[in-house]
Structure 1
Amino acid sequence: MASWNSSPLEISYKVLGWIAFAFWAACFYPQVILNFRRKSVVGLNFDFVVLNLTKHSSYLIYNATLYFSSSVQNQYFQKYGYGEMIPVALNDVAFSVHAVLLTAITLFQIAIYERGGQTVSKISILIVAAVWLTVGICFFIALPNHSWLWLISIFNTIQAFITLIKYTPQAVLNFMRKSTDGFSIGYVLFDFSGGVTNYAQMVVQSIDQDSWVNFYGNIGKTLITLITIFFDLIFLCQRFLLYPANGGLIFPKSSKENIEDPKSSKESIEPLIE
């Protein structure tokens, strides 16, 4: 395993990594706090949250396995060279653990707060089911030859794929409602900052090692960084350029009726899956 050539770059790498962790960890809290204060999740796309849980669970499996498993690390070195560094840092593992926990909390809020008739789409349910079915099949394919690096690479590919599609429902919902109310802009700002900082961390490692292997050796991390930045720019445009005047909360008709009449709210809560 390669070592750092420059102490300042090594320190910069670690600092940038934990700054990225702080930004990406913080991005979950504005939405959780907003939901708690409103006692409502109207405006938050449920597909986004469900897909996010699968995405972060997959990323946690990849990061934790590559960081802690010596056998998987050995397979990585055999593939990319013993002169390379592992492309996963401790801050990556810490972020994944934190992300799974906070996404689960958000999903719990969806279950208990006012939903206004919003549901999880059948498409998202099918995607999640297909993902875990694929993982199960790949596990049995990898088992005979202990191809664990290949298996966790599947998880890395899955999380990159879900990152690509998870933002789309929220962007579409904002467009349909002509509003970003209910979707915390704080999430977007922290998410964007984390993406930029995370990319900078990877650049620092490449400069020190005079190699770009960490970019394609951990293609999932590269892709989620670029995809995150791209969609966050879309959300920022929606919030500050396209729909800046919508200051009030927008509730569907059924949601307003439920809020005015507590009894009807209890009786007319929609199922999460439609």
Structure 2
Amino acid sequence: MGFLPILSALFGWVYFLCWSASFYPQALLNWRRQSTSGTTVDFPLLNVLGFAAYFTSSLAFYISPSVRAQYAARHAGLTPTVQLNDITFALHGLTLSVITASQYLFSRTLWGFEPSLGARPSRLALGISAGCLLGVACVGFIVIGTSDADFDPATGWCALDVVYATGYVKVVVTLVKYTPQLLANWRNRSTRGWSIWQILLDLAGGVLSIGQQAIDSWLQRDWSGITGNPVKFALGNASMVYDGAFILQHYVLYRGSRYKDVEENGEERRRLLGDERRGG
């Protein structure tokens, strides 16, 4: 085995370790603080949807003979660049996202946390989730309605398109999932409650993910390894842009912030009590 294949495999497993490790800091910080204040449920909740879609599409690219054959028909006989570490990462991310989301949705009953304002999903998160599921369903109906015995996967609708649509759910989620937390940090003028370690690990993973895909495409002498697997490519780039924004907030804009936790000064608890009284 040559140097570049070894380097590709190394990049793959190191980015898997970095991205996988990035799921732990926020959950551990929430548990240590016994609170999710300062953060919103939108991020972990959208992560559940995104990683469920990513796991499904990656698994189809990796083990489905029909999907792999359809991919080869569209990309000059080449095979998908999805590797085992992609599937392992997606499943691990899904599991940790479910655990973290439960800290918000079942904060009191399951974890014993005090409820926080960010534990309620926003309309944006719910709308994005519904729109993504509807989009995949529409593509599925199109494939079912246009399929026939003589279809050409290189030009016609086929199962590969459903897999692509499912994978694009992860792209859409990645493009929007960080926005609510960025806005929350801006409103609080603080990143307190939001773990910067998950961002630093995510950034390292993004760089290595793009590097692995570039090496694989170079070895195949065909850049369809990137254009044919846009989900993986978009994930690395989009996440790095957001990571940069969070790093700017944490180390520059709100560095040394003297703002206290919202729950510490009682503001959030008063607002929650007010909401409950109005709701009652």
The verdict on a shared fold, with TM-score over 0.5 as the criterion, is yes
Deviations 1:83-104 (A, max 9, x none): x232211111001000110000
d(CA) in 2 for partners of 1:142 and 1:115? 44
Q: Please say if residues 182 and 249 of structure 1, whose CA atoms lie closer than 8 Å, have aligned partners that are also in contact.
A: no
Deviations 1:197-247 (A, max 9, x none): 101101111222222111110111111110011110110010000001126
Q: 2:57 is matched with which residue?
A: 62
**Aligned AA (1:174):** N
Match of 1:148 among 146, 153, 159: 159
What pairs up with 1:191-202 in 2 under 5 angstroms? 191-202=202-213
Q: Does 1:126 align with 2:127?
A: yes
d(CA) in 2 for partners of 1:56 and 1:17? 18
d(CA) in 1 for partners of 2:10 and 2:79? 17
Q: Please say if residues 114 and 255 of structure 1, whose CA atoms lie closer than 8 Å, have aligned partners that are also in contact.
A: no
Gaps of 5+ in 1: 1-5
| Alignment root-mean-square deviation, CA | 2.4
How far off is 1:136 after superposition? Answer: 2.2
Q: Secondary structure at the match of 2:60?
A: helix
Q: Please say if residues 18 and 204 of structure 2, whose CA atoms lie closer than 8 Å, have aligned partners that are also in contact.
A: yes
Q: 2:153 is matched with which residue?
A: none
Q: Does 1:93 align with 2:87?
A: yes
Q: Please say if residues 199 and 222 of structure 1, whose CA atoms lie closer than 8 Å, have aligned partners that are also in contact.
A: yes
**Aligned AA (2:31):** F
What pairs up with 1:99-178 in 2 under 5 angstroms? 99-110=93-104, 111-112=106-107, 113-118=113-118, 119-144=120-145, 145=147, 147-178=158-189
Q: 2:154 is matched with which residue?
A: none
Match of 1:232 among 225, 235, 243: 243
d(CA) in 1 for partners of 2:45 and 2:39? 11
Q: 2:150 is matched with which residue?
A: none
Q: Secondary structure at the match of 1:183?
A: coil
Q: 2:220 is matched with which residue?
A: 209
How far off is 1:116 after superposition? Answer: 2.4
1:233–1:65 distance in 2 versus 1, CA, 3 Å: same
**Aligned AA (1:200):** G
TM-score, structure 1 normalization: 0.88
d(CA) in 1 for partners of 2:277 and 2:201? 32
d(CA) in 2 for partners of 1:242 and 1:81? 49
Gaps of 5+ in 2: 108-112, 148-156
Q: Percent of aligned pairs with the same residue? A: 30
1:188–1:247 distance in 2 versus 1, CA, 3 Å: farther
Q: 1:13 is matched with which residue?
A: 8
Q: Please say if residues 199 and 243 of structure 2, whose CA atoms lie closer than 8 Å, have aligned partners that are also in contact.
A: yes
How far off is 1:157 after superposition? Answer: 1.6
